[in-house]
Amino acid sequence: METNPFIQEITLLLQAEDLLNIGKEAQELKVKFDDFILEEERKEQVNQLNAAESGEQYESKDFTELKDAFYVQYTAFKTKRNEQKTLKEALEKENLRHKKSLVEKLQEVIENEENIGAAYNAQKEIHETWKKIGDIPRDKRDEIQRDYSRMLEIFFHNMKIYQELKDHDFHRNTQLKLALINQLETLKNSANVKDMESALRTIQNEWEEIGPVQNDEWEKLKTNYWDAVRAVYEKINQFYNERRNIQLDNLEKKKDLLTQVNQLNEKLTENLTAKHWETATETLLKIQANWKTIGQAPKKENEEIWKTFRAACDVFFEAKKGFYKDIEAHQTEIADKKRKLIEEAKKIQNSTDWRSTSEKLIRLQKEWKNSGNAGQRFENKLWSEFRATCDVFFNARETNLKEQEAELITNLESKKQILELLTNFVASGEKLTDLNALKEFADSWKAIGSVPAEGRDELYQSYKKILDAHYEKLQIDPAEKELIIYKARFESLPAGTDRIQSIQREKTFIRKQIDQLNAEINQMENNLSFFAKSKGADALRKEVDGKIQQIHQRISVFKQKLKAIPNE
C-alpha cells in the first residue's frame, strides 16, 4: 500500500522527542484525516449510487486498512505523549516539593542563622539550587513564587551588612526587572497565545533569577510586575474562554445538523419516491458540506458527536441503497412488460387495416403509459423503440389519408361536373330514354365514390333535389317513381362503412315491416273465420278483403324496394 501523507506526517510527529508541545498539531492532523476519510467515503457512496442507477458494476474502495494504519500511529503518539505528560507532571510535583523544601530551608536560615556570612552562603546555595529546578504545576507557580519571593525579601532585608556592596547590584537588578516588565507589557499584545504562555514562563523564571533591588523601589516594581503578569494571564484566559465559547457554539451547530439528519431518517418509513430520495440526498449532502465548515467542538464532545453524525448518515445511505435495490427490481419487471408491448406493436406495424390497427396501437400506448416508469436504465431506450414501431404504422396511415384526401377532392370536382350536367339536362320527351339518361347520371354519381365530409350533405341534397325534379317531370306511375327515387337514394350513398351500415339498417327495417304486414293479414283472415254467413257478415268480409289486398300491395312495394337495395 502506498504510504499516505497523513501517516507520514503522524509518524514524523511520533519520532519527535518532545511530544507535549506538538499535541495540537497531532489533534489537527487527526481532524484533517477524519475529514479526508469522510469525504472519500462520501464520494464512494455517491459513486456506488450512481453505478447502481446506471446498472454498472462498481468495486468500492475500503478505507479500513488506511484508518487502522493511521490510528495505530496516532494512538502510539497519544500513548507516548501521555507518558511524557505523566512524567512531566511527576517531575513538576517533585520540583514543587523541592521548591517548598527550599522555601522552608530559607525561612530556617532567616530565623536561626546568626552568622551573616554563613546565611548569605546558604541563601546563595538555595538560590542556585532554586534556579536549577525545572517547571512546577502551573496552578502552584504563583503561590510558591510569592512565598519564595517573600522569603527573599526578608532575607535581603536582613542582609544590611552587605547593603553597600549590593547597591550596584540593586540598580542593575532594578533595570533588569524594569526590562522584564516592559517585555510583559509588550507580550500581552501578542497574537499567538501558545508563544505568550511560553514567553511568560521564561520571563517569570528570569524575574526570580534576578537578585534583589532597593526596598524603596521593590514595592512599586513588584506591583507593576504582578499587574503586568495578571494582564497577560487575563489575555490568555480570555483566549481560552473565547475558544471554549466558540467550541460550545460549534457543538450546538453540529447538534442542529445531527437533528436535521435524524429528521430525514425519521421519514424513511413512509412510501417514498425516487424524486423524494433525490431531494433528500441533496439535502443531506448540503448538511455534510455545512458540517465541514464548522470548527472544532470541545475535544471530548467533538469525538462523540462526530461518531453519532457519521452513524446517522450511514443509516440514510443504507436505506437509500435498499430503496434503489427494490425499485431496480420493480423497474426490470416493468421493462419486461414494455418489451412485450413492443413485440405486439411490431406484429401489426405494417398493417393497412387503419381503423382496427389504430385502435390496437392506441390500446398498447395506454397500456404502456399505465405500466409505470422503467427507470433511467431502460425507459428512454424502450420508449424510443416503441415510438419508432408505432410511427411506422401511423406514418403509413397519414400517407394513406393524404392520398385519400386528394382522391376525395378529385371526386368532389367530378360530382360537381355531374351536378352541372344534371342541372342543364333537358328531357327528350321519350319516357324510357329519359329514364335511362337519369339512370346513367345516377350510375356515374355512384361510381365516383366519396367526397370530403365538409359540404358532402349539401352537395347530395342539391343532387337529389335536381334528380327528383327531373323524375317529377317524367309523369311516371307514383309507385314506379317512388321505387326509382328509392333506388337512386342508395346508389348515391358514398362507399364505406357508413354506406354498408345504412343498407343493412334499411334491409332490416323493410323485412320487419313485411313481417308486421303479414301478421296483420293472418290476424284479419283468422278473424273472418268467426263470422257466419249473413248479409251483414258478407259486407264486413268484403271490407276486410279490400284491406288485405291493400296490405298485399304494400308488401309488394316493400319487396320491390328490398330487391332494389344493393347486395353489399
**Grid-cell match 472544532, residue found:** 296
Q: Could you state, in order of their start, the residue ranges of all structural domains in the chain?
A: 1-158, 166-300, 496-568
Kindly report which listed range (209-223, 318-332, 352-366, 539-553) carries the lowest average pLDDT score: 318-332
pLDDT digits over 371-418, tens only? 887 777 778 888 898 789 888 888 888 887 777 778 788 888 888 888
449, 424 contact by CB (below 8 A): no
Nearest residue to 281 via CA among 530, 522, 42, 98: 42
Buried b (16+ CB within 10 A) or exposed e, 357-375: beebbeebeeebeebeebb
Residues 283-302 pLDDT 10s: 889 888 998 888 888 887 88
pLDDT in tens, 449-502: 777 878 778 888 888 888 778 877 776 666 666 666 666 666 655 555 666 777
Q: Are 188 and 231 in contact (CB under 8 A)?
A: yes
Amino acid sitting at position 427? A
Quick one: which H or E segment has residue 134? Answer: none
Q: Which residue has the cell 507532571?
A: 89
Q: Which three cell numbers stand for residue 565?
A: 337495395
User: Which is more confident, 527 or 389?
Assistant: 389
Read off the pLDDT band of 319 (50, 70, 90).
confident
Q: At residue 254, what are phi and psi to the nearest 5 degrees? A: -70, -35
Residue with cell 337529389: 464
Whether 131 and 163 have beta carbons less than 8 Å apart is answered as no
8-state DSSP, 159: -
pLDDT the model gives residue 31: 94
> pLDDT class for 311, splitting at 50, 70, 90?
very high
Model confidence band, residue 447 (pLDDT cutoffs 50, 70, 90): confident
Helix (H) or strand (E) holding 243: helix 215-266
- State yes or no: pLDDT of 567 exceeds 90: no
Which pLDDT belongs to residue 79? 92
Measure the CA–CA gap between 66 and 147, rounded to whole angstroms. Answer: 54
Instruction: Write out the three cell numbers for 458.
Output: 349539401
User: Pick from 265, 263, 372: which is nearest to 323 by CA?
Assistant: 265
Question: Would you mind telling me the total number of residues written for the chain in this entry?
Answer: 568
Coil vs helix vs strand at 402? helix
Q: Are 59 and 36 in contact (CB under 8 A)?
A: no
- Sign of the C-alpha dihedral computed for residues 25, 28, 34 and 38 taken in this order: negative
pTM greater than 0.85: no
The answer to whether 309 touches 291, Cβ cutoff 8 Å, is yes
DSSP symbol at 429: S
34-43 pLDDT per residue, tens: 998 899 889 8
Asked if residue 103 lies in contact with residue 151, where contact means CB atoms within 8 angstroms, the answer is yes
Please tell us whether the domain made up of 496-568 is placed in CATH 1.10.287.
Answer: yes
Average pLDDT, the chain: 81
Report which DSSP code applies to 22.
G
Identity of the residue numbered 104: E
Q: Three-class SS of residue 543?
A: helix
